[in-house]
Structure 1
Amino acid sequence: MQVLTENYQLYLNGIWTTLQICFYAGMLTLLVGTVIAGFRVSPLAPLRAFGTAWVTVFRNCPLVVVLFFVAFAIPTLGLNASYFVFGTIGLALYTSAFVCEAIRSGINSVSAGQAEAARSIGLGFTQTLRLVILPQAVRSIVPPLGSVMIAMIKNSAIAGAFGVGGDLYETGTRLSSAQGEAIVPVLLGVALGYLIITIPAGLLLGYVERKVAIAR
């Protein structure tokens, strides 16, 4: 375990960079996933078709393929950014399909009578979704959404393989390859770093789930 004690600062920096990736990707994927979920339940056929196509493509494509496309195809359009940005965007786009389905399942759990009552008092589709349906759907959304976000944190290791730099994946690669450290303790340190992130996140999500259940 000497590797861990001698390089703890590298691991701390890796945890911090991984947290940044997960935070920005999480915010973006929640935004995109919610919008796509709205498309999926929209009364307009073109929006439903777009939402279905989005989920089908990103849910059935490997994350590596999505990251390759974002990192190497988008720059050909003249849009240049760092690999940190591209990795975060790719991770968010991939995860948004699963977030969308978690939110859609929550929307579908709300009684249809709620939407009919909202329409009867003159609310439009967007107002009904935002003011009536989503607040009630939160109770059903939290558990599957929590699982999706935990999976996203673990998937950030794949994003790190695309040259993000400074994350836990890159820290393990640097210590094992460039500095020649023994691979087993290095990987144990990387695994511990992800546990430091995922366990508190799981506890927080469990707390939120209990609070929602009490509110029910």
Structure 2
Amino acid sequence: MSLWEYRDQFLSGLGVTVELTAFAFLGAVLIGTFMATCRISPIAPLRVVGLVYVEIFRNVPLMSLIIVVVYALPEIGIVWSYKTCVIVAMLLVGGSFLCEAIRSGVAGVPAGQIEAARSLGMTFYGVMSNVVLPQAFRSMVQPMVTVFIGILLSSSLAGVVGVNDLTATVSYINNREAKGLLTFMVAAVVYLILSLLAGLVGDRLERRLRVLR
């Protein structure tokens, strides 16, 4: 049986991979932005929260975190689908890296603009949302693309808990057809194409935003 006969399974697995990556990245952007704000907040407890979050999730292996989320949450009465658990684990890890990237971007915003905004009576969160973060995001397109690609590639661990992503689908086909080299090469090429497309989009977006700065 040729691999073409499994095209529907390939497409289904690819769709799951794209879904995992998209939701995890969007969640990582949200939590990363919030934690970056905490890390530079004038409120000491918030800075501690941001630091603890980054130090924990930046140093925990994703596979271990996936297993913990999948099997530990039901013990405290929280029951999610395996796919949701994988997304949560991925966004927590991705958010920790984005937090540091955003914090670096914030450091690049001229201090004079921040002082000018404060002199106008803007609050800390007003300064962050209206002055600092919009400029910081424009300067950190490539770091965000790097995190996106990392999340995309790490989604291949979803099969560990039975989520039928692209890698899990390829493993299933290999078990039936014993064509490991060919099937996994196809998956590798797909991951490569997606990563290159993300890099291309990021490069063009960075050029466009550079003009707006």
Report if TM-score (shorter chain) is over 0.5. yes
1:27-56 C-alpha deviation (Å, 9 max, x unpaired): 111111100010011000000011001000
Q: Secondary structure at the match of 1:135?
A: helix
Aligned residues: 213
Query: What is the CA-CA distance between 1:159 and the residue it aligns to?
Result: 2.5
Unaligned runs of 5+ in 1: none
C-alpha separation between the residues in 2 aligned to 1:106 and 1:160? Answer: 34
Shift of the alpha carbon at 1:149?
A: 0.8
Counterpart residue number, 1:88: 87
Counterpart in the other structure of 1:175: 173
Aligned match for 2:182, one of 180, 185, 188? 185
How far off is 1:193 after superposition? 2.2
Question: Where does residue 115 of structure 2 map in the other structure?
Answer: 116
Query: Do the aligned partners of 1:118 and 1:128 also contact (CA within 8 Å) in 2?
Result: yes
Determine helix, strand or coil for the equivalent of 1:60. Answer: coil
Identity %, equivalent residues: 37
Do the aligned partners of 1:146 and 1:205 also contact (CA within 8 Å) in 2?
yes
- 1:22/1:153 contact within 8 Å kept: yes
Matches of 2:81 and 2:191 in 1, distance apart? Answer: 23
Q: CA deviation at 1:69?
A: 1.5
User: 2:188 is matched by which residue type in structure 1?
Assistant: A
**Greater shift in the superposed pair: 38-47 or 114-123:** 114-123
Q: How big is the shift at 1:77?
A: 1.0
Q: After TM superposition, where is structure 1 displaced by more than 3 Å over at least 4 residues in a row?
A: none
Matched residue SS, 1:43: coil
What does 1:38-57 correspond to in 2, within 5 Å? 38-57=37-56
Q: Structure 1 residues 87-96 or 2-11, which shifts more?
A: 2-11
- SS class of match (2:58): helix
Equivalent position SS for 1:161? helix
Question: How far, CA to CA, are the matches of 2:161 and 2:208 in structure 1?
Answer: 38
CA contact (8 A) 1:26 1:92 kept: yes
- Structure 1 partner of 2:141: 142
Q: Which amino acid aligns with 2:45?
A: P
Deviation string, structure 1 residues 73-127 (Cα, Å, up to 9, x no partner): 1111111011001011101111100011111100011122222111111100111
Matches of 2:159 and 2:112, distance apart in 1: 46
Instruction: Please give the TM-score of this superposition, normalised by the length of structure 2.
Output: 0.95
Distance in 1 between the 2:45 and 2:122 partners? 21
Decide which of 191, 195, 205 is 1:194's aligned counterpart. 191
State the secondary structure of the residue aligned to 2:177.
coil
- What 5-or-longer segments of structure 2 have no aligned partner? none
CA RMSD of aligned residues (A): 1.3
Amino acid at match of 2:168: E
